[in-house]
């Protein structure tokens, strides 16, 4: 890449979006561009800017500069905004999938998701944006986060975080970013809770390890896969992804901890506030907690023979039967205020699927005395038995 024009969006009289505590998008865009430029120059790329201070070049002036200079790539830095303050994520815009910038946008998007750990909103086409439509070279527009989200706005005030974003864009431009697994998209959000999965428990364990999950949480993968067929045929990958989301990969950090053996934040039959630890159910061990989790999903998805009379699920209410059958509907039940809940689950399952599968070893018969469960997580263990 010989030459790149960086365009810090908005500026001057046009502040762009404004965060909950007053941070202006135009300021963030400029600061990211000021950090990105030198990183690109380190690789021998000639870098120019549509603005280097708080001024507002018109859209036509920005595209005219790009066409006049004949640069190889145009990058317009922006922050996203939405009326729902809980919305988060990063996305990258291009004019069309046929654009020469599209493969670069895919790498930039992958790098941003990996670096920021924000939800992946994907690479999207926009034909109505002047900076993408009227430039004669490849052009992309990274939306580096929702400034309308208070937590994201706080991160955007950090020079270190803006440096992380700049390095991610640099890595994407020069092809050093590892591609993300493909999003499952609408078909993923519409995946049935009661379904089979090609994802193995080994892949789930590998994924959990890659996310620095606790050893107990890693071990729970086998338990989900072992027990799911007994509980309405719930897709174990969906349940395990949800458990990762609800427990922070076993690190918890909310009002409950690992002593609750509660894999999805199930409340007691009486219920109560989200911040009340007494409102959340304590299970005797991890197996009971996983069974309750799977039963609750099976009931919600309308599995045959549900509700059950002997379920460990404390909220096994008959009126919940068949309330929702897909990942999309889970978000409306578990996290009605998190519009990205379903997308997060889909993204997690895509990451699991991308973990290389390890061939399973033949299951040789062992005496019952040699089959036991891990005392920490309850997962089934197979012990080597020697004769003599």
What's residue 370's pLDDT?
35
The whole-chain average pLDDT of the chain stands at 87
Residue 172 CA: distances (Å) to CA of 169, 175, 381: 5, 5, 43
For residues 114 and 180, the answer to whether their CB atoms sit within 8 Å is yes
* SS3 state of residue 233: coil
Please name the fold of domain 3-173: Aminopeptidase (3.40.630)
Distance of CA 307 to the CA centre of its chain: 32
Range in 106-110, 182-186, 258-262 with the lowest mean pLDDT: 182-186
What's residue 77's pLDDT?
98
For residues 81 and 143, the answer to whether their CB atoms sit within 8 Å is no
Distance CA 186, CA 136 (A): 32
What's residue 188's pLDDT?
64
For residues 7 and 48, the answer to whether their CB atoms sit within 8 Å is no
Distance CA 89, CA 118 (A): 5
Q: Which of 67, 86, 76, 58 is nearest to 149 (CA)?
A: 86
Residue at token pair 């009227």: 134
- Report the share of the chain in percent with pLDDT over 70: 88
What's residue 357's pLDDT?
64
Three-state secondary structure readout of 62-126: HHHHHHHHCCCEEEEEEEECCCCCCCCCEEEEECCCCCCCHHHHHHHHHHHHHHHCCCEEEEEEC
**Average pLDDT for residues 358-366, to the nearest whole number?**
44
What's residue 48's pLDDT?
97
For residue range 85-98, list pLDDT tens digits in order: 999 999 999 999 88
What's residue 191's pLDDT?
84
List, in order, residues 6 or more apart from 273 with CB less than 8 Å away: 279
More confident residue, 54 or 347: 54
> Which active-site residues does the annotation give?
143
List, in order, residues 6 or more apart from 27 with CB less than 8 Å away: 54
For residue range 26-55, list pLDDT tens digits in order: 999 999 999 999 999 988 899 999 999 999
Domain boundaries, the chain: 3-173, 186-354
For residue range 187-219, list pLDDT tens digits in order: 566 788 999 898 999 999 999 998 889 999 999
What's residue 176's pLDDT?
63
What's residue 15's pLDDT?
96
Q: Half-sphere exposure of 377 toward its Cβ, with a 13 Å CA cutoff?
A: 16
For residue range 368-385, list pLDDT tens digits in order: 333 344 444 444 433 333
List, in order, residues 6 or more apart from 217 with CB less than 8 Å away: 208, 243, 244, 247, 249, 250, 377
pTM over 0.75: no
């Amino acid at each position: 890449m010989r030459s790149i024009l960086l365009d810090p969006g908005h500026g001057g009289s046009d502040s762009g979006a404004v965060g909950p505590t007053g941070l202006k998008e135009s300021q963030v865009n400029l600061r990211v561009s000021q950090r990105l430029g030198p990183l690109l120059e380190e690789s021998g790329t000639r870098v120019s800017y549509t603005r280097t201070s708080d001024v507002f070049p018109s859209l036509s002036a920005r595209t005219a500069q790009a066409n006049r200079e004949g640069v190889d790539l145009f990058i317009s830095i922006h922050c996203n905004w939405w009326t729902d303050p809980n919305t988060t994520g990063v996305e990258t815009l291009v004019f069309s999938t046929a654009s020469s910038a599209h493969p670069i946008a895919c790498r930039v998007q992958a790098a941003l998701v990996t670096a920021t750990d924000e939800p992946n909103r994907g690479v999207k086409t926009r034909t109505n944006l002047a900076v993408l439509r009227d430039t004669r070279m490849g052009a992309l527009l990274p939306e580096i986060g929702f400034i309308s989200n208070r937590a994201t706005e706080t991160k955007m005030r950090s020079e270190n975080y803006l440096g992380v974003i700049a390095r991610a864009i640099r890595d994407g431009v020069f092809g050093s970013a590892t591609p993300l697994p493909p999003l499952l998209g609408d078909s993923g959000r519409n995946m049935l809770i009661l379904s089979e999965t090609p994802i193995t428990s080994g892949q789930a364990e590998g994924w959990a390890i890659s996310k620095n999950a606790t050893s107990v949480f890693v071990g729970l993968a086998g338990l989900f896969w072992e027990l799911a067929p007994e509980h309405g045929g719930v897709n174990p990958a969906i349940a395990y992804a949800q458990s990762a989301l609800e427990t922070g990969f076993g690190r918890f950090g909310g009002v409950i901890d690992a002593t609750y053996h509660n894999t999805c934040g199930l409340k007691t039959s009486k219920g109560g506030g989200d911040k009340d630890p007494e409102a959340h159910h304590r299970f005797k061990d991890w197996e009971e907690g996983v069974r309750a989790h799977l039963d609750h999903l099976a009931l919600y998805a309308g599995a045959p023979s549900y509700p059950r009379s002997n379920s460990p699920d404390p909220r096994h209410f008959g009126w919940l039967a068949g309330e929702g059958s897909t990942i999309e509907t889970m978000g409306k039940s578990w996290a009605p205020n998190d519009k990205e809940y379903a997308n997060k689950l889909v993204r997690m399952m895509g990451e699991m699927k991308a973990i290389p599968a390890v061939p399973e070893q033949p299951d040789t018969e062992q005496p019952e005395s040699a089959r036991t469960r891990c005392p920490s997580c309850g997962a089934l263990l197979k012990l080597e038995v020697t004769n003599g």
